[in-house]
Amino acid sequence: MCSLCSSCHSFYSKRYSRALYLGAKAIQLNSNSVQALLLKGAALRNMGRVQEAIIHFREAMRLAPCRLDCYEGLIDCYLASNGIREAMGMANNIYKTLGANAQTLTILATVCLEDPVTQEKAKTLLDKALAQRPDYTKAVVKKAELLSREQKYDEGIALLRNALANQSDCVLHRMLGDFLVAVNDYQEAMDQYSIALSLDPNDQKSLEGMQKMEKEESPTDATVELDGDDMEGSGEDGDLEGSDSEAAQWADQEQWFGMQ
């Protein structure tokens, strides 16, 4: 397997240090490899080395000015370092230069989501993106994040089910699990987390969601079993009060990066 392929495999396995090492080897073999620069930049960003990542994304952008993933990587870095102004400037420039397509609309919406003042604009942009490409996963994810913030869980479930009707994606299944937990549909939520993990066994958020639900269920099971033993062993008449456990509602978000 070549260094670039190995780097890509390591990145998606979340072994970022190895992805970084293999990406560097790929660049040694071909200094103009845009994909190697993108992988190395993404690995650096996920390791918290944002300034180094910016250098790689800028170089990739110089070599391939028409590739949107170069700009997406750079914008993600700006947002990670609270450079919202720089991110907005670049997103607006891409939008004006390349026009209103699903990708540019989603890039601009991603930045708008970072500022409460521009939340409504983000919603409009995402609706336009999904009108053009209902199957565009990044737009679906960002729209689901927005609906989660607004606690519009039924709308989020409908959006994700519609997207999953024509594709199977780890992030979409996990997000659907999160929304189902929010509406107390725990059994299907567990099913969705299981599907997500079958697609990506390294998806930590799906694993955390499943473990959270298991922890919520365990105290209830233990209480029922204890109450049964107490009633069986008791020779006295009287009322026994069982202890109720409340299921916690929760939803989490992820910043997601996908190589195009």
pLDDT of residue 208: 92
- pLDDT, one tens digit per residue, over 181-226 is 999 999 999 999 999 999 999 899 999 998 888 887 665 444 444 4
Q: Pick the more confident residue, 173 or 224.
A: 173
In sequence order, which residues have a C-beta less than 8 Å from that of residue 70 and are 6 or more positions away?
34, 38, 57, 60, 61, 64
Domains of the chain, CATH where assigned: 138-217 (1.25.40.10)
pLDDT higher than threshold 90 for residue 153:
yes
Residue 144 has pLDDT above 70, yes or no: yes
Sequence-separated (6 or more) residues with CB below 8 Å from residue 32: 63
Spatial neighbors of 18 by CB under 8 A, at least 6 apart, are 7, 10
CA distance 172 to 166: 12
Could you report the per-residue pLDDT of 236-251, keeping only the tens digit for each? 444 434 434 333 333 3
Q: What value does the mean pLDDT of the chain take?
A: 83
Report the distance separating Cα 74 and Cα 57, nearest Å. 6
pLDDT for the residue 25? 85
**Per-residue pLDDT at 9 exceeds 90:** no
Q: Is 99 helix (H, G, I), strand (E, B) or coil?
A: coil
pTM, full prediction: 0.74
Closest CA to 180 of 251, 253, 259: 251
Higher pLDDT, 113 or 16: 113
Model confidence band, residue 12 (pLDDT cutoffs 50, 70, 90): low
Q: Is 244 exposed, middle or buried (0-12, 13-18, 19+ CB in 10 A)?
A: exposed
Q: Do 52 and 77 contact (CB within 8 A), yes or no?
A: no
What number of CA atoms fall less than 13 Å from residue 9's CA on the CB side? Answer: 7
Cα distance between residue 206 and residue 75, in whole Å: 26
Question: What b/e string do you get for 34-64 counting C-beta neighbours within 10 Å, with b at 16 or more?
Answer: bbbbbbbbbbbbbeebbebbbebbbbbbeeb
Confidence (pLDDT) at 222: 44
Task: State residue 218's pLDDT score.
Answer: 62
pLDDT exceeds 80 at position 177: yes
- Residue 184 has φ and ψ, to the nearest 5°, of 65, 25
